Amino acid sequence: MANERVLIVDDEEDVLELVRYNLDRSGYQVETAASGEEALAKTKRKLPDLIVLDLMLPGIDGLEVCKKLKSDVKTESVPIIMLTAKGEETDIVTGLELGAEDYVTKPFSPKVLVARVRRLLHRAVSRDLERPPMRIRDLTIDPGRREVLVKRKAVHLTFTEFNILYALAKRPGLVFTRYQIIDTIHGDDYLVTDRAVDVQIVSLRKKLASCGSYIETVRGVGYRFKD
């Protein structure tokens, strides 16, 4: 069953409900927004794993939303599927040039849309494994090898500890609540309580030694990686 968060952005209530219903049935966590402004606010507050974005929106239109998201380092990696009306070929090309990954024209088959969502999210996970190592001062994180080095010395992390570190480091400065961290982690030792997150963070900081201070506690909220 999928656990990824999908944000649907459309000002038509029936379309929102149709897409929400089908993605929810497929196991995704779904949020909705009826305007570009609301979509940007929700994305900033809680980063989704994928966005289904209608181009015809009141206020800030879909293309402008796409442009803002793809020009921000904190949101540029979030895949976007555009919803467009037939005959909007120019908008489709513009959206793809701005960085949107895919598009579906209205009227659309819910099954096709869900399949596109599933494909993009699977590709996003696979893409992480192909990314080059991240080097942050004395810390190196290699997602392909699932290897962490502190001052060039290997550090042994559990599956969960590595996932927490990588999730935080990919989005420096962004605050993750404990429940967001739980939702991010997948594996045999999947976290099940918010208290377990604190325990994992303590262990992670200890293993990272001098680099443990890179993970900051945001009192009353959660954790973030130093920007």
The Cα–Cα gap between 219 and 190 comes to: 24
Q: What is the mean pLDDT of residues 153-168?
A: 86
Question: pLDDT tens for residues 89-130?
Answer: 788 888 888 888 888 888 888 998 998 898 888 766 555 666
Question: pLDDT tens for residues 176-212?
Answer: 888 888 766 644 444 445 677 888 899 899 999 999 9
The Cα–Cα gap between 164 and 197 comes to: 9
Cis peptide bond prior to 107, omega within 30° of 0:
yes
The Cα–Cα gap between 161 and 170 comes to: 14
pLDDT for 118: 87
Phi, psi of 215 (to 5 degrees): -95, 115
pLDDT for 185: 63
pLDDT for 87: 61
pTM: 0.58
**Tokens standing for 102?**
């895919």
C-alpha closest to that of 177 among 2, 1, 5: 5
Question: What does pLDDT average to over the chain?
Answer: 86
pLDDT for 191: 46
pLDDT over 90 at 9, yes or no:
yes
**Tokens standing for 204?**
């992670």
**Tokens standing for 17?**
């409900």
Whether 70 and 62 have beta carbons less than 8 Å apart is answered as: no
pLDDT for 193: 56
Categorize the per-residue pLDDT at 37 as very low, low, confident or very high, splitting at 50, 70 and 90.
Answer: very high
Longest Cα pair distance anywhere in the chain, in angstroms?
57
C-alpha closest to that of 43 among 94, 9, 82, 84: 9
pLDDT for 1: 40
Where is average pLDDT lowest: 68-77, 171-180, 189-198? 189-198
The 3-class SS string of the chain reads CCCCEEEEECCCHHHHHHHHHHHHHCCCEEEEECCHHHHHHHHHHCCCCEEEEECCCCCCCHHHHHHHHHCCCCCCCCCEEEEEECCCHHHHHHHHHHCCCEEEEECCCHHHHHHHHHHHHHHHHHHHHHCCCEEECCEEEECCCCEEEECCEEECCCHHHHHHHHHHHHCCCCCEEHHHHHHHCCCCCCCCCHHHHHHHHHHHHHHHHHHHHHEEEECCCEEEECC
pLDDT over 70 at 42, yes or no:
yes
| Residue ranges of domains in the chain, CATH in brackets | 5-128 (3.40.50.2300), 131-225 (1.10.10.10)
